[in-house]
Homo-oligomer: A and B are copies of this chain.
Amino acid sequence: MEFKKELKDHYSKGHEKYLRHISVDCVIFGFHENDLKVLLLKTKYAGGWALPGGFILKNEHMDASAQRILKERTGLDEIFLEQFHVFGDPDRSTKKINQQFLKNIGVKADISWMFERFVTIGYYALVDFTKVTPSPDNISAACEWFSIYQLPEMILDHHHIFDEALQNLRMQLNFHPVGFNLLGKKFTMPELQKLYETILGKELDRRNFQRKMLATGILKRLDETKKGVAHKAPFYYKFDLRNYKKALKSGMHSFE
């Protein structure tokens, strides 16, 4: 069985390929149907959901590892990525989980780099939900989006990692208009507002939001309005990358 051989190799020889003791975990945020979502993997046999993660190749830039992991799970390139925290508690051991996993799947291994302690580097990613094709890795049974307000049971400290990621994202939102990375090429003001409200977890004033957003100068209104929608049709906007870069230098404003 090809899969078992691959797995055995990973456990017995992975340390020749990857840096020991270091893993990368990604909190992938997407926005869909007015809800902020996170992409999670269901581990085979071993119960519980997990953040997509991986390891750093011996000659690979750490940021590139995160990009590679994201590419594999979402199919996307050049994702917005932000390293936000390192989790270095010696008790966050994956040993038990890994041993349980191998036992269940019927692979033997007594010692393995995978049983050793891991320090994990947390990244969060902001992706365009509509562009993502979630695909599980070979040790996972499923790869699905979850609302951040209805997360399932998660392995290890992954829920804690998620919490930190969300907190960092909220902070970031006050300085850089990172929200745009979660939307498509064009979007309406109400959509953008919903996004902000979902991330921040609170409602914002519609009129003040629009004024502030436009004041940043990083939005460009299109002549097009949203079609086939009840009530007054909202305009589409697009994100003006050039002005964005200029605005970044002079600092961004915060939201309520």
Contacts and interface: CB of A to CB of B under 8 A. Distances in A.
A199 to B, nearest CB: 17
Interface in A1-33: 19-22
A231 interface: no
A220 interface: no
Contacts of A60: 90
A117 B62 CA distance: 12
A83 B84 CA distance: 10
Nearest to A113: B20
Q: How many copies does the complex hold?
A: 2
A86 B89 contact: no
Interface string A121-139: 1000000000000000000
Interface string A95-106: 000000000000
A61 interface: yes
Contacts of A63: 88
B90 A59 contact: yes
Contacts of A86: 62, 83, 86, 121
A58 B117 contact: yes
A20 B61 CA distance: 17
Interface in A71-121: 83, 85-86, 88-90, 117, 119, 121
A56 B89 CA distance: 11
Interface of A: 19-22, 56, 58-63, 65, 83, 85-86, 88-90, 117, 119, 121
30 contacts: A19-B20, A19-B21, A19-B119, A20-B20, A20-B21, A21-B21, A21-B22, A22-B22, A22-B119, A56-B88, A56-B119, A58-B90, A58-B117, A59-B90, A59-B117, A60-B90, A61-B88, A61-B89, A61-B90, A62-B86, A62-B89, A62-B119, A63-B88, A65-B88, A83-B85, A83-B86, A86-B86, A86-B121, A88-B121, A119-B121
